[in-house]
Amino acid sequence: MEALALTLHGSSVGYRTAGDGPAVVLIHGMAGSSETWEPVIPLLAKHATVVAPDMLGHGTSAKPKGDYSLGALATGVRDVLVALGHSRATIVGHSLGGGVAMQFAYQFPERTERLVLVSSGGLGREVNTLLRALSLPGAEYVLSVGTATGLRNASEKVAGWLGRVGLHPAPGLVEIMRSYSALGDHETRAAFLHTLRAVIDVGGQRVSARDRLYLTQDMPAMIAWGDRDPIIPVTHAYEAHEAMPGSRLHIYPGAGHYPHCHDSQRFADELLDFITSTTPAALTAEQLRLRITTGA
C-alpha cells in the first residue's frame, strides 16, 4: 500500500492505492485522512483497485485558502480518479466523506457504479454537540489552545504507555486521537474550520441530501453504521435505508463512529460481497433528467 502524491491545479494531493480489479474509492471524514482506511485497504486490495485520497485540507494534501464545500471536495475526488485513469468506481464515504460521496454521485452519476455510506453526514440535523460548538466564532482560539504541542504530546505519550503495558485503545478512539493530533498547525486548523462550517452550524448539520435519496433507486447502495455512534446517531442509518430503495443496511453492535475500524474484516467482506453481487449503475443523462424533473 503506497502513499503517493499528485499535483492537481497547482496543489499537492496525497493518496493511497493498492490492488487490482474494479475501482473502489474510499473517502475519509473530517479532520481525518486516508490513514483511517489502513486496516481495510489490504483486505479490499485482494479483489479491487483501491484509491483512498486525502481531500484538500486533510492529511498530506495541500491546505490552500479556498472552497471546502461538498461540491468542491467531490470535484477533487473526481479529479484524482481522472488523473489515475479510472473512469468509474464504487464510491465509499465515511462521516463527512459520506456527504462528499453522495455529492459525487449526484454531480457525476456517469462515474458512480455504487454508493456506500459509512456513519455518513448529510442525512439529518443531529450531530455531536462539540462539532456544533466549533462552528461558533472564537473556535480558532479554542482549537489553537486545545491542540497545543504539549497537550498533543501528552495524549501520544499516554497511548504509548498503555501500549507498553498491554492495553490498547479501541479502534474508534485511535482514530479520534489521530484526528486530534492532525490539528497541530495553523493551516490544518483553518482548513478544518472552513470544512466544518461548510456543513455544520450551531443548530447541527446544515447540509442534507435526504430530499435526493430517491435518486439511488437507479444505483446499488449500502449503509454501514455503529450502533453506539456518538457523533452521528444510528437513527440516521435506519431513516436513510428507508428512503433509499433497495439499499443494504449493516449495523455493527458495540461500534462507535468508525465501524470500518471496529471490525475491518467484516466491513471488507460485506463491501466486497456488495460489489460482486450487484450490477454497476449505468444511469444515462435522460434517465437522470427524468428522475430530477419528475421526482420519482
pLDDT of residue 292: 81
Q: How far apart are CA 272 and CA 289, in angstroms?
A: 31
Q: Is 168 tagged catalytic? A: no
Structural contact between residues 11 and 61, judged by C-beta atoms closer than 8 angstroms: yes
Domain boundaries, the chain: 2-127+207-294, 130-199
Q: Is 263 tagged catalytic? A: no
Show the low-confidence residues of the chain (pLDDT under 50).
148-163, 165-169, 173
| Domain 2-127+207-294 annotated CATH 1.10.150.570 | no
From 34, 95, 135, 179, active-site residue: 95
pTM: 0.89
Amino acid residing at 190: A
Look up residue 99 and give its three cell numbers.
456527504
Residue given cell 480558532 in the structure block:
140
pLDDT of residue 156: 46
Q: How far apart are CA 158 and CA 257, in angstroms?
A: 22
Task: Specify which residues 190 forms β-bridges with.
Answer: none
From 58, 94, 229, 247, active-site residue: 229
Q: Is 94 tagged catalytic? A: no
DSSP string, 175-235: HHHHHHHTT-SHHHHHHHHHHHHHHEETTEE----GGGGGGGGGS-EEEEEETT-SSS-TH
Q: Which of 38, 56, 13 is nearest to 174 (CA)?
A: 38
Q: How far apart are CA 130 and CA 239, in angstroms?
A: 23
pLDDT of residue 35: 93
Q: Which of 75, 47, 2, 74 is nearest to 276 (CA)?
A: 47
From 28, 58, 236, 257, active-site residue: 257
pLDDT of residue 167: 41
pLDDT of residue 188: 86
- Render pLDDT for 64-95 as a digit per residue (tens, 0 to 9): 988 999 999 999 999 999 999 999 999 999 99
